[in-house]
Structure 1
Amino acid sequence: CFLVILQYGSTDGVGVPHIPHTARIVGGKNATAGSWPWQVSMHHDDAHLCGGTVINTEWVLTAAHCIITGSNPNEVNRTVSQIIVHPDYNKGTRFNNDIALMKLSSPITYSTYIRPVCLAANGSLFYNGTRVWATGWGQPLVAHDVLQEVQIPVIGHNECGCYYTTYNLANVTSAMICAGELGKGICQGDSGGPIQYRQGAQWIQAGIASFGVPCAIGFPEVFARVSYFQLWIMNQTGGTNVSFVESTSSGTDPDSSFVCSVVTPTNTTTAPNTTASSPGSRTVSSELAFVGTVAMILLMPLLA
């Protein structure tokens, strides 16, 4: 197994891309080279499996469920010398504490195309509706595929939990953060990758792609909440040269007044379904029936 660090951007400092992002919403479009210099592609048997992020010269952050551990002219290859999965992964509820660290066999050298991301510090706030960016390659990865980016809203803890408990899918814990909307989001192969938020000139990683109901049908995707794990990350890495930044949200969080009732997002795509739903329209219940024939709740990626 080996790790490929794709040098996909250039920066002037931690969490600061040299190539500026536009203000447009990108629905799964090609990312501009220079946009996300901390993005990592984890490979297994010469194929992309999961994403990750560079947090310093020696460590990569990813999802616990990805643990197994690529050509781009700007890539740097590193094998992994140590893998640390959170000791409480899956404890208490499925997918809880879905976070892992990988120590590289040798330090990387920062360059025009590779730099670390800032991590959300304990106490960071991401209110319902906050716009964040998700990045990843999805699956399968074919030759010359380009990193994709999409802007999606944060879905508050109460609202997100309502979706998942209504259909008895999962418990959304305080170690998780949710984001996504109809037609925009993440799917297989994007696990372990980041959602990131711009604060001033810096980009702050808020979450690590964990699980969801495939794909972008209006159900929130769920991410490990990076700020929740600040102490654990610092303890495992020695805290050296890992940048934590407290993210703030102003005003009142709309999620604080959210009241859970039956929520039924509708998917307007024509993907297959196993119920009698009319073509081109599928309710959550029919989507869940379809997913149930594959792997219950989607683990991104679907690991065989």
Structure 2
Amino acid sequence: MMHLVLLLSCIGLIYASAPPDLTVSNERYTGKVVGGQNAHPNMWRYQASLQYDNWNTGHYAHICGGSLVSPLYVMTAAHCILSLEAKFYRVVLGEYNLYKYEGTEQTRAVSKIIIHPGWTGDLTIGNDIALLRLASEVYGNGYITLADLPYPGQTLPNGFTCYITGWGLLATGGSAPDILQEAPIPVVEHSVCASPEWWGSAAKKSMICAGGDGNTSGCQGDSGGPLSCFTDGYWRVHGVVSYGPAVNCNMYTKPTVFTRVSFFLEWLYSQMV
């Protein structure tokens, strides 16, 4: 089986209502998340940047994405947790350009890390999901919102268009963007993704596959970030970026794999107390 790669960089709240016009030409989606473009400002208001201070010096670097699921909790991938010491992490909400202060940001220290008990470090087993409890609540400022989540057990049909967002590499081995990226990405239903030509047994029913067209995918630095899908009248976070192919982020028949949020709702709500 092809090697997997963690899509991880190593170094009053309101709700969305109607979908924006995100129709763009193919030319504008060439070469950037991989295959995307600069995100529409103030669109993905639940998107978080998880940042890590490797040497405990006060200098933080983006390592993963996340989604604000309550005023005190951010959902991310379990494999984004490099240390169980909460003091090494911070979360930035309302972020757009990582290297420019724009007055929209709220930065919070992390007070507690909660990793799914089924996480073993093996991506093919799954359970790649975690919660970060913030040191203080995030407040609504017009640039930050809570993520809506899917219904328990909800799945999406093959070809359903969702959006992947993040500050991950623009290509395998390429550069990381300053500005949040977005790209439309089609869902690949489980029966297809679990076939031998695709991810085979590495794709579990607790996961969502999207992409695999050789054009659009997540890449290193997008881990933990949302797969956003417009369902039932709202943008809902259906997935958490988990893994992709090690050889090339946007390989044909090797889509980005996400932890399926609807599979873990009971656990999520039980922890956010």
TM range (shorter): 0.7 to 0.9
Q: Deviations over 1:24-47 (max 9, x none)?
A: 374310011111000001111321
Is 213-222 or 129-138 further displaced after alignment?
A: 213-222
1:215 aligns with 2:249: yes
Structure scoring higher RCO (CA < 8 A, sep ≥ 6) equals 2
Q: 2:186 aligns with which of 117, 134, 153?
A: 153
User: Equivalent residue of 1:34, what SS?
Assistant: coil
Hey, what does 1:112 align to over in structure 2? 142
User: Equivalent residue of 1:120, what SS?
Assistant: coil
Hey, what does 1:49 align to over in structure 2? 63
Hey, what does 1:72 align to over in structure 2? 101
Hey, what does 2:202 align to over in structure 1? 171
Given that 2:239 and 2:259 are in contact with CA atoms closer than 8 Å, whether structure 1 keeps it comes out as yes
Hey, what does 1:235 align to over in structure 2? 270
1:62 aligns with 2:76: yes
Which amino acid is 2:258 matched to?
F
- The structural deviation recorded for 1:22 is 2.1
Matches of 1:208 and 1:95 in 2, distance apart?
A: 15
Given that 2:13 and 2:146 are in contact with CA atoms closer than 8 Å, whether structure 1 keeps it comes out as no
Matches of 1:12 and 1:106 in 2, distance apart?
A: 15
Hey, what does 1:32 align to over in structure 2? 40
- The structural deviation recorded for 1:175 is 1.1
After the TM superposition, list the runs of 4 or more consecutive aligned residues in structure 1 that deviate by more than 6 angstroms: none
- The structural deviation recorded for 1:57 is 0.5
User: Equivalent residue of 2:70, what SS?
Assistant: coil
- The structural deviation recorded for 1:92 is 8.0
Change (3 A) 1:20 1:207: same
- The structural deviation recorded for 1:185 is 1.1
Given that 2:46 and 2:146 are in contact with CA atoms closer than 8 Å, whether structure 1 keeps it comes out as yes
Hey, what does 2:86 align to over in structure 1? none
- The structural deviation recorded for 1:94 is 3.2
Given that 2:13 and 2:144 are in contact with CA atoms closer than 8 Å, whether structure 1 keeps it comes out as no
Which amino acid is 1:217 matched to?
M
- The structural deviation recorded for 1:90 is 2.9
Hey, what does 1:192 align to over in structure 2? 224
- The structural deviation recorded for 1:158 is 1.5
Change (3 A) 1:87 1:36: same
- The structural deviation recorded for 1:95 is 4.8
Hey, what does 2:22 align to over in structure 1? 22
Q: Which runs of 5+ in 2 are unaligned?
A: 1-11, 30-34, 54-59, 83-88, 93-99, 170-174
Q: How does 1:77-96 map to 2 (within 5 A)?
A: 77-90=107-120, 94-96=124-126
Matches of 1:92 and 1:193 in 2, distance apart?
A: 19
User: Equivalent residue of 2:36, what SS?
Assistant: strand
- Superposition TM-score, scaled by structure 1 size: 0.68
Hey, what does 1:254 align to over in structure 2? none
- The structural deviation recorded for 1:21 is 3.9
RMSD: 2.2
Is 74-83 or 194-203 further displaced after alignment?
A: 194-203
Which amino acid is 2:180 matched to?
L
Change (3 A) 1:177 1:100: same
- The structural deviation recorded for 1:13 is 3.0
Give the paired residue count: 221
- The structural deviation recorded for 1:121 is 1.7
- The structural deviation recorded for 1:91 is 7.7
- Superposition TM-score, scaled by structure 2 size: 0.75
Q: How does 1:196-207 map to 2 (within 5 A)?
A: 196-199=228-231, 201-207=233-239
Which amino acid is 1:16 matched to?
S
